[in-house]
Amino acid sequence: MAVGAIVHGTPSDAHDEPVDSLYAETRDMRLLGFVLFLISDVVLFSAFIFAYLYLRNSVPQWPPLGADGKQLPRFDTLFAAVNSVVLFGSGATMHFALESWKHGAKKAFNAWMASTIILGSLFLAGQAYEYIHAKVTWAGSTIGASFFTLTGMHGFHVLVGVIYLIVLMGQANSGVYTKLKHFGLTAGTLYWHFVDVIWVALFTLFYLI
């Protein structure tokens, strides 16, 4: 399939390592299944986002009033922006990790992969710090419930992604993948870019508008 050729290398790679037809077929099927999984995750986040937008538009002002009758404070945009740069930076390092593996640069791959894992962990630490110091609670207001539900769901995806990348790094160094047969690394990269894109939407919703 064409999509497999695009994701897994150029025709010139075939001179370095032959890819049997059975692997190519199963690789393309797994890629399709993984893309469908990501689409289902997009639907999940979209449902919560539209619910949040509905609740937001159902009140006369945003942020809404708290139990004491005063308007709730906005979230710390500057802190979230710095934390966002950390996450987006991890998307770049993940891209370089995959490209390094495709070109047989194992040391560079390990360095970029470790950087991605560290940056992802730092993002989670920043999110935990923000949760601790948040002026709203999950049960105390509409904005609090929406914020903790959506960002918490995203944070869970980042946590799963960090664990996934650790496993992939271990597999790569134990000989599971080769220059052409590395679907797991491709899937990990797609997943990590997915959490980046979702965060763009959440950052815009909660901190910019």
What pLDDT digit, counting tens, does each position of 47-64 carry? 999 999 998 888 777 777
Give the model's pLDDT for residue 12. Answer: 39
- Decide which of 105 and 2 is more confident: 105
- Confidence class for position 138, pLDDT limits 50, 70, 90: confident
pLDDT at 21 over 90: no
Average pLDDT over residues 14-36: 74
Give the model's pLDDT for residue 116. Answer: 98
Average pLDDT over the chain reads 87
> Do 12 and 168 meet the contact criterion of CB atoms below 8 Å apart?
no
* Residue percentage of the chain with pLDDT more than 70: 87
Domain membership of residue 59 as a residue range: 2-208
The closest of 88, 105, 85, 87 to 97, measured between CA atoms, is: 105
- Report how far residue 13's alpha carbon sits from residue 112's, in angstroms, rounded to the nearest whole number: 22
Among 6-20, 127-141, 164-178, the range of highest mean pLDDT: 164-178
Query: If you write DSSP's letter for every residue of 132-163 in order, what string do you get?
Result: HH-SS-TTT-HHHHHHHHHHHHHHHHHHHHHH
Average pLDDT over residues 158-177: 97
Percentages of the chain per state (helix, strand, coil), in multiples of 5: 75, 0, 20
Give the model's pLDDT for residue 70. Answer: 72
Average pLDDT over residues 99-111: 97
- Decide which of 113 and 14 is more confident: 113
Domains in the chain, number:
1
Tokens of 206: 């909660």
- Report how far residue 88's alpha carbon sits from residue 106's, in angstroms, rounded to the nearest whole number: 23
pLDDT at 153 over 70: yes
Alpha-carbon distances of 17 from 9, 12, 27, 37, 107, rounded to whole Å: 11, 10, 16, 30, 20
Give the model's pLDDT for residue 11. Answer: 37
Please report how the helices 106-133 and 142-173 are oriented relative to each other, as an axis angle in degrees rounded to 10: 160
- Report how far residue 106's alpha carbon sits from residue 172's, in angstroms, rounded to the nearest whole number: 9
- CATH code, domain with 187: 1.20.120.80
Give the model's pLDDT for residue 147. Answer: 93
* Residue percentage of the chain with pLDDT more than 90: 67
- CB under 8 Å, gap of 24 or more: what pairs does 40-47 form? 41/157, 41/194, 44/153, 45/150, 45/153, 45/154, 45/198, 45/201
Give the model's pLDDT for residue 18. Answer: 57
- Decide which of 141 and 4 is more confident: 141
